Structure 1
């Protein structure tokens, strides 16, 4: 007999009668009674949750170490030549990306369902915005050597850079605010045929809102990739564009693969897929952009000189 049914023995007739259990119940081992289904969600105590939590915490710690290294060597040419202020803001946003993945783990609640998507969307827009402005500054710096470039370069001063990052991030904040105000995701029990367990997950009441959040991130990422690709052949002292190009290729590849994987993953595994995409893209940005610089700062200090940078 199927576990969805309980078997009742009829003594007088000598036959068996099967009664369907309610949706939130499941037949016991002996098929004599209906027991409540267990709630199933991505927990901090299970193996998958522990692995994802470890990866997120480790990424946040590595980002903190890189931040300390950059603070300690902030007066050196490698740090100063690559727009140190945006680099610090980028490191902060990457740490937020790692930490926001932890909100997806644990029992879903009304506030966690709303906060996790907002934190994810805003953190990644802040991160990609920093990369986009850094790339535009690289292009502006190269054009500054041409005649009549004063008008062009004045739009890329420190205050303009901070304002551009804030403006791009505010657009995502508005999208998230409207989405979460009108039709926010809420915890919902999946009573489909999932065995003896009921999946508790954050259900998207509005697919349009989530699509707009992802679409805006994708738009900024594609724009940043295009700008970095155009700047990849500039002189070597502006070679951060090469690092940004490679990092954005990884970023875009991860999120393109995320969409079909997220749609096809059942229950709590869709949450695990989203966390994995967040961590994979965050690690890709951190390693591609900051690992070469930390290598020079810590292991090749003879290359961390103005003469070496200008002579390349």
Structure 2
């Protein structure tokens, strides 16, 4: 694979979408309740720290496929920010001592280390609620708003991301088959990535058939993201990862690398990359950004 540095068009797009979503989150957190300033500070620490902002980027990119390059991206800001808040909350809780017990995230102390465990728990709780406040704050047609809320709630909860996290925790020191590993990651990592793409497509006015195609693309890149994470956990340095290298192996977690080996995992990654590219051929409009996002996901860390 080529260098992990994305092409200039994608770099510009990622920078623009990151700036938009960060501004929306800052706006949402700019008036803390008196006496709860530390909570708001911890929320901002988690949601506005270093990160790829991949999920917001998918919202904007998928909306543009159906609305065109001149689409008013401000219509997507609240949805993009909501997804980033859910993602940030999940990382805060993942890092807690009762779960993965990590001290480093995105190259700096995790939220419970920077503040304390109780504040981190509350910050995660509040970011989850903040996501739905953001979606409800946007003036959208009621049916569209309901669709967006349904997508996010389903992807984030016990039928999506949280279910995957529960299975992941129960799988430590267990031997899983590939048939068991894949559904876990389609929930834990893939559900929110798929929701990001679908929410962007909904904001862009996609049809039901087009939503199905977007889902196939997003499911492929969502799983690819996890496979590449598993590869990087073995092959990349801590400075590149932003978290301790080899953490999954130390916890004896089942991964694509532990089941397939590094080369086998890379073949799985290439297959998923191809599936995503094939799905894009069935979408109207300019899908170059979505293709570049897929490329970036599988090439990062190289």
Coarse TM-score class (shorter-chain normalised)? 0.3 to 0.5
In the superposition, the TM-score normalised over structure 1's length comes to 0.31
Q: Give the TM-score normalised by the residue count of structure 2.
A: 0.32
Q: Write 1 or 2 for the structure with the bigger share of strand.
A: 1
**Structure ID, larger Rg:** 1
